[in-house]
Structures are given as C-alpha cells and as structure tokens.
C-alpha cells in the first residue's frame, strides 16, 4: 500500500508545471548567526535551474557566498485541501557577470510581463540594473512536494 506521502507527491512533470506557473518563491539562505534568512523572490527558469537576480551587496548574496546551501519553497492554496507546494533544497551559485544577469532580468521580466522576449532597446534599458546585480543560479539536490487535492477530501 503506498504511503500518504507518495499519494500526494507531485510527479516531475507536475513539479515543472507548478514552477512554471508560479510567481513568487521564498529563498532561505543560512545567516552568519545560524538563523535562516528568508526572502521573497521573483524568478525565472533556465533548463532545470531556478534563476533570480538580486543586488550584489544584499544579505542573501553575502550568505550564499559564505555557504551556498539553501532552500526554496513555492506554495499555493487558501485551504488545507487546496495546498500544493514544492520544497527544493540545493545550492545557489552567485554569478557576477553583467551579460548573464541581463539575460536573467529578461527571463524574469518575460515571465512577469507576458512578452516573448524583451526588445533590444528594452534590454539596453535594463543594463544599468544588471551592472548592480548578480544572478543566483539554484540547482536542486533534493525535492519534497505535496498536493492535498490528490487526497480527494480524505485526510
């Protein structure tokens, strides 16, 4: 008999679809004092990786340079029977490269703006932001997922 955990887990395809449909995730890095540092982030997808941008001098960047281990959570649902989510654990690479960050800004903007790809002019308008920022490339090592809707109202 399958476990209840197995019954509510998202398949790899469902995980991808859930990530693609999400808007804001929460990134948890390890603070210097040992406490988690959790922040809301807009994100993009690059293959299997989650990509985000942030200011070069931000606390999360300091934390990730010191310890790249982190976690991401994305969850939706207003009531228990509708809860669906992903908890991804892995490592974030801090990429301090203007062109990579410009491409990441474009990907995040594309997802939130609904455009196929920003024009060359729009890309150049974003360049000053890219100069102040870095890209965070999250690579998943471990996944936990849940979809309480799969329980059919039986808990």
The domains located in the chain, with CATH, are 4-149 (2.30.110.10)
- Per-residue CA distances from 146 to 16, 18, 39, 70, 78 (Å): 13, 11, 21, 20, 14
Is residue 114 scored above 80 in pLDDT?
Answer: no
- Per-residue CA distances from 114 to 25, 47, 108, 110, 136 (Å): 18, 19, 10, 6, 22
pLDDT band, very low/low/confident/very high, at 2 (cuts 50, 70, 90): low
- Gap between the Cα atoms of 19 and 138, Å rounded: 13
pLDDT in tens, 60-73: 999 999 999 999 99
Query: What pLDDT does residue 109 have?
Result: 85
Q: Which residue has the tokens 């932001």?
A: 129
Is residue 12 scored above 60 in pLDDT?
Answer: yes
End-to-end CA distance of the chain: 16
Does the pTM surpass 0.85? The reply is: yes
Q: How many other CB atoms are found less than 10 A from the CB of residue 80?
A: 9
pLDDT in tens, 78-101: 999 999 999 999 999 999 999 999
Query: What pLDDT does residue 155 have?
Result: 63
Instruction: State both tokens at 57.
Output: 């001098």
Query: What pLDDT does residue 115 have?
Result: 66
pLDDT in tens, 25-53: 999 999 999 999 999 999 999 999 999 99
Query: What pLDDT does residue 130 have?
Result: 94
Instruction: State both tokens at 110.
Output: 């594309």
The widest CA-to-CA distance across the chain, in whole angstroms, is 58
């Amino acid at each position: 008999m399958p476990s209840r955990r197995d019954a509510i887990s998202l398949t790899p395809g469902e995980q991808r679809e859930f990530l693609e449909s999400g808007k804001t995730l929460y990134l948890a890095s390890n603070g210097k004092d040992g406490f988690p540092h959790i922040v809301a982030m807009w994100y993009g997808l690059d293959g299997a990786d989650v990509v985000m941008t942030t200011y070069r001098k931000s606390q999360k960047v300091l934390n990730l340079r010191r310890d790249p281990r982190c976690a991401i959570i994305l969850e939706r649902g207003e009531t228990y029977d509708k809860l669906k989510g992903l908890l991804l654990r892995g490592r974030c690479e801090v990429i301090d490269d203007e062109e990579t960050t410009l491409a990441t800004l474009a990907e995040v903007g594309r997802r939130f703006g609904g455009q196929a790809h920003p024009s060359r002019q729009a890309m150049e308008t974003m360049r000053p932001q890219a100069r102040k920022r870095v890209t965070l490339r999250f690579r998943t090592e471990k996944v936990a997922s849940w979809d309480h809707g799969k329980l059919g109202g039986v808990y």
